[in-house]
Structure formats: C-alpha cells, structure tokens
Amino acid sequence: MSAGLHEAPMTPILPGSTDTAGQQATLGVLGGGQLGRMFVHAAQRLGYRTAVLEPDAQSPAGQVSHHHIQTAYDDPAGLAQLAQLCQAITTEFENVPAQALQTLALTRPVVPGAAAVGIAQNRIAEKALFAACADKSGVSCAPYAVLETPAQLQAIQDERADLLPGILKTARLGYDGKGQVRVNTAGELAAAWAELGSPACVLEKRLPLVAECSVLVARGYDGQVVSFAPQRNVHVDGILAATHAYEGTMPPALAARARAAAISIAQHLGYVGVLCVEFFVIDDGIEYGGLVVNEMAPRPHNSGHYTLDACDVSQFDLQVRTLAGLPLPEPRQHSPAIMLNLLGDVWFDASGQPREPDWPAVLRLPGTHLHLYGKMHARAGRKMGHLTITGSDVGSVRAVARRAAGLLGLPGLDAL
Ligand code: ADP
Ligand code: MG
C-alpha cells in the first residue's frame, strides 16, 4: 500500500531561495486554524514566504501569513492561486476535501497526500488500516463493528453483545468527542443511531482506559523517519485538556511499543509529513497487551504543542522540513513539559460572566509559555490557546502547572 506516497521533488525547496521567475520560496497550507498559524510561524522563521487558503477573514493563520487566499477550500480559482504562489502545499485539518488535495497535487507536491488524509477522514477506513497493520505494528484497535445498514444493526444486536457497553462514533467529521454516543444496550444503540440520522458509523467496545498517549512521527520523501517520545494526554469531556511530556510519564516498555507502532503505521502508509497516532492504555494487560491504537491525525496535533517550547525541533518545524524536503534530525526534548489547553471557558468566571484571564499572574510564574491563537471570540469548548510549562525537573514543572491551572480556573492537576 502506498497511500500518501508522493514522488520526491527533484530538489529540496531551500529556505530563502528564489525560483527562475524570481519568486521567493513559498509554502502553502490549506486551512487557517491554529495549526496552520503555527506552521506559518515555523516556515517564516526559516525564511519562507507563506500562503494560507481559508474562507474565514479573521482566521488564526490568515492573520499571520504573507498571503491569505480567502475562498472555500474547494474553490477552483482559490486552489489555482495557491498552486501558483507555492512550491509545495500541506494541510492543517483532515476534513479538507480530498478532491482539493488531488487538484493541487496535479501541479505541486502536496503532503500528506490525499489518500492518507482520506483514510484519516473515515473511521471505517482508519480501523481497517490499523487492523491491516496490527501484525507489523504489534498493536490492535479496540474491538469494533461497522454500522452502515439496518442489516448490520440487526447483526450487531444479535451477535456482538461483546461490544456493549460501547461508543457509537460517526465514521466522518468527528472530533473533540463530537459525533459520539455512549450506548449500554442494543436498544440504546438503535435509538442513538437513529438519532444521529443513521450515518455510516463504527460501534466500538468501551475500554477501561488507565491512560491515553500519542506519538508524533515525521517521515520524509526519502522514507527517513524521526519521532518524539510518546506524551500522555488527559481529556475532559472528550477534549484534550493537558499533555504531560517528561520521562516517566509512561511506563518505558509501553512508550517504546507505542513509538514503534506509530512508526510502522507511517511506514506502512508510505506517509510523508507529520503524523500523530493516538493510543489508549487499558487495564486489561493480557487481552490487548495494554496498548490499543485509537486514531490518527495526518498533521501536527494539539498533543504535540509542547514541542514548540520543550524540544530543539518542534512538530511544526518537522512539518516544514518534510514539506520542503529538508534534512530531518531526530528531535531532542531539552525540558520536561506540561501543556494546558486554554479553551474559551477560561474567559468566563464561575457565574458565566466574561472576564480576561489574569495573564500577568500566569506569566509571572517561571517557565510559562503562553500561546494565543488570535481568535476574536471566546466560546465554551473553543480552543483559544495553550500554555506550556517547562522547567529543569518534573517536580517544579508540576508545581508551576498546578498554580497556573488554579489561576486560570482549570481543574486541579490531579484531574489533569
Ligand atoms: P475524537 O475524534 O473526538 O478525538 P476519539 O475516538 O479519540 O474521538 O474519542 C475521544 C475520547 O473519548 C478519547 O480520547 C477517549 O477519552 C474516549 N474514548 C473514545 N473511544 C473510547 C473507547 N473505545 N473506550 C473508552 N474511551 C473511549
Ligand atoms: Mg481523539
């Protein structure tokens, strides 16, 4: 299988270079969210010009890019302009229309490719991929069944009691816990599926999670792979709340298995670019070997934001390097880190009144790195920014994170 494999560009796109027409090296990104913004920052630091295609006039990435093409993601004129401006193009969210990537790929290197993005867009295809990789990766996904037809519903109700209690997940467009319903009985399953409008879904067995982690991998056109050590993630209400990235946050044997599995999935896909693979660590150490692969994102990931401040090369640096065909050094983490996500809720007090978070108090704490994404309106659950805490040792990082969480009205660190 070679989904996402793109032929190597003839020559790397060197920082600061100009082409024969005198155009400065420009890198493009489809999508204008915070991941696009941090990609743009990384590209610009290396001296590239950048272009963002994003319909929203006030997007986080559009605000900071040299060029902002303000059209729909599948607008032919917008895509043509992006291809004309850029030597290579990436994407920052997986729900970009696969057709748009295919159109761009006719004239420019586009990584990750439409095929890999297409798999990540569809939980059914994603689980089939994980199942196909399981022998090589050594890690399976949760037991599941595909639910697309009334006959499949009946078959699950009759024969797959082992999947209950379970989680019904829409095959497409789910993120941050959206498009998911917890079901305990065959009757609840039928009702939940009907309530969703009977779209293509998977029903997944609900597993006794003891932890969650993710691994970021970067793979170049030439097949070279580098990766970060697994980081441990804490979700609240289905949304990432905190990431713990330091030695000892995961048992070393599990961490090594997760890292090897993520690398083997990237290799199996012939993937080019940055890939995030999410895992569950479960209670049942025998049946599932303790580690279960959950899902993947064909791009940098919220759980890798700490790499900006705690590593010598960040996930966004690696995204730029893979796209431009530059060398890929193995990243090194120089500080233990905790990342706290800043959702819109932080901009409201306990009684729901809008407030400005006490940034001076937060920034007075040692080793705090505040990243705000330039979003105009705070809403509950909306990702507005993140705060990374670094320090010389885990104990001091945890102590500062605890104080920062308290100042921001986040749950206590025991819950994070
Ligand atoms: P999303 O695309 O919204 O991130 P996920 O499949 O990662 O969807 O689910 C979101 C969260 O829900 C997970 O991080 C985990 O906390 C919980 N979850 C998902 N699937 C299961 C499962 N099979 N068993 C237990 N918890 C789960
Ligand atoms: Mg997830």
* Averaged pLDDT for residues 68-83: 96
Same domain, 150 and 289: no
Domain of 99, in residue numbers? 26-111
The CA–CA distances, whole Å, from 35 to 38, 244, 319, 396 equal 5, 19, 11, 28
* Amino acid making up residue 215: V
Give the CATH number of the domain where residue 355 resides: 3.30.470.20
Determine, yes or no, domain membership for 237.
yes
Looking at the chain, the number of H-run helices and the number of E-run strands are: 12, 18
Same domain, 106 and 196: no
Helix axes 315-324, 34-45, angle to 10 degrees: 70
* pLDDT at residue number 413: 72
* pLDDT at residue number 19: 78
* 284 or 137, which is more confident: 137
Same domain, 243 and 374: yes
Determine, yes or no, domain membership for 21.
no
If you average pLDDT over every residue of the chain, what do you get? 93
CA 302–ligand 2 middle distance (angstroms): 10
Candidates 338, 326, 182; CA nearest to 246 is 338
CA-to-CA distance for 121 and 296, rounded, in angstroms?
A: 9
* Averaged pLDDT for residues 397-414: 91
CA 82–ligand 2 middle distance (angstroms): 30
Residue at which a domain ends, from 111, 130, 158? 111
Residue at which a domain ends, from 181, 205, 229? 205
* Sheet with strand 88-91: strands edge to edge: 67-69, 49-53, 26-30, 88-91
Cβ contacts of 334 within 8 Å, gap of 6 or more: 310, 311, 312
Query: Is residue 2's pLDDT more than 50?
Result: no
CA 240–ligand 2 middle distance (angstroms): 8
Determine, yes or no, domain membership for 136.
no
pLDDT tens digits for 329-366?
999 999 999 999 999 999 999 899 999 999 999 999 99
What is the enclosing helix (H) or strand (E) of 322? helix 315-324
Determine, yes or no, domain membership for 5.
no
- Confidence band of 289 (pLDDT split at 50, 70, 90): low
pTM above 0.85, yes or no: yes
DSSP-assigned letters across all residues of 127-182: HHHHHHHHHHHS-EEPPEEEE-SHHHHHHHHHH-GGG-SEEEEESSS--TTTTEEE
**Lining residues, ligand 1, CB within 6 Å:** 142, 167, 169, 174-177, 204-207, 209, 212, 235, 238, 278, 294-295
Count the domains in the chain. Answer: 3
Beta-strand ranges (E) seen in 187-333 are 201-205, 209-219, 225-227, 231-236, 239-245, 273-282, 291-297
CA-to-CA distance for 181 and 239, rounded, in angstroms?
A: 15
Candidates 316, 228, 210; CA nearest to 266 is 228
Same domain, 147 and 105: no
For the chain, the straight-line distance linking the first and the last C-alpha, in angstroms and rounded, comes to 39
The CA–CA distances, whole Å, from 269 to 91, 119, 209 equal 17, 10, 27
Candidates 38, 110, 60; CA nearest to 322 is 110
> Which range has the worst mean pLDDT, 98-107, 174-183, 303-312?
174-183
Same domain, 236 and 379: yes
Same domain, 215 and 152: no
- Residue 100 near residue 118 (C-beta atoms within 8 A): no
pLDDT tens digits for 111-158?
999 999 999 999 999 999 999 999 888 899 999 999 999 999 999 999
Give the CATH number of the domain where residue 30 resides: 3.40.50.20
Nearest CA to ligand 1 atom 13: 238
Determine, yes or no, domain membership for 350.
yes
* pLDDT at residue number 387: 98
CA 60–ligand 2 middle distance (angstroms): 22
Determine, yes or no, domain membership for 117.
no
Same domain, 367 and 219: yes
Give the CATH number of the domain where residue 159 resides: 3.30.1490.20
Same domain, 54 and 69: yes
Determine, yes or no, domain membership for 72.
yes
Atom of ligand 1 nearest to the CA of 204: 23
Same domain, 394 and 298: yes
Same domain, 149 and 231: no
Mutating to test ligand 1, I would choose from 122, 160, 167 the residue with most ligand atoms within 8 A of its C-beta, which is 167
Question: Is residue 124 helix, strand or coil?
Answer: helix
> Ligand nearest 209 Cα, by number?
1
Helix axes 186-196, 150-159, angle to 10 degrees: 160
- Indicate left, alpha or beta for 273 from its phi (over 0: left) and psi (-120 to 50: alpha): left
Residue at which a domain ends, from 184, 205, 226? 205
Same domain, 260 and 353: yes
* Amino acid making up residue 81: Q
Phi/psi at 395 (nearest 5 deg)? -60, -45
Atom of ligand 1 nearest to the CA of 208: 25
Same domain, 261 and 407: yes
DSSP-assigned letter for residue 190: H
Query: Is residue 63's pLDDT more than 50?
Result: yes
CA-to-CA distance for 161 and 178, rounded, in angstroms?
A: 24
